[in-house]
Homo-oligomer: A and B are copies of this chain.
Amino acid sequence: VRSKLTIKVGVVGGTGYTGVELLRLLAIHDEVEVVAVTSRGESGNPVSSLFPSLRGFLDIDFCDPESTDLSVCDVVFYATPNGIAMQQVPELIAKGVRVIDLAADFRIKDIPTWEKWYGMEHACPELVEKAVYGLCEINREQIKDAKLIANPGCYPTSVQLPLIPLLKKGYISSENIIADCKSGVSGAGRGAVVSSLMSEVNESFKAYGVSGHRHLPEIEQGLSEAANAEVQMVFTPHLVPMNRGILSTIYVDLKDTDAQTIQTYLEDFYKDEEFVDILPFGSLPETRSVKGANMCRIALHQPQGRNKLVIVSVIDNLVKGAAGQAIQNMNIMFGLKDDAGLQMPPLLP
Chain A interface (Cβ < 8 Å from any Cβ of B): 17, 20, 24, 27-28, 51-58, 176, 178, 180, 182, 184-186, 190, 192-194, 196-208, 210-212, 216, 232, 234-236, 238, 240-245, 247, 249, 251, 274, 277, 279, 282-293, 295, 297, 301-304, 306, 308, 310, 312, 343-349
Contacts and interface: CB of A to CB of B under 8 A. Distances in A.
A203 B291 contact: yes
Contact of A210 (B186, B211, B284): B284
B207 A247 contact: yes
16 contacts: A27-B345, A51-B348, A55-B277, A56-B277, A178-B251, A180-B180, A185-B198, A202-B203, A202-B243, A203-B242, A206-B286, A234-B310, A236-B303, A240-B240, A292-B292, A344-B344
A197 B121 CA distance: 31
Contact of A241 (B27, B206, B242, B297): B242
Interface centre among A200, A243, A297, A345 (most CB of B within 10 A): A345
A168 to B, nearest CB: 24
Contacts of A20: 348
A158 to B, nearest CB: 12
A56 B274 CA distance: 8
B24 A345 contact: yes
B185 A194 contact: no
Contacts of A240: 205, 240-241
Contact of A52 (B192, B203, B297): B297
A86 B182 CA distance: 38
Contacts of A57: 345
Given A198-B201, A306-B232, A182 B290 contact: no
B274 A202 contact: no
Contacts of A24: 345-348
A323 to B, nearest CB: 12
A58 B344 CA distance: 11
A293 B236 CA distance: 26
B182 A182 contact: yes
Contacts of A197: 185, 190, 192, 196-198
Contact of A53 (B28, B192, B211, B288): B288
Contact of A200 (B292, B346, B349): B349
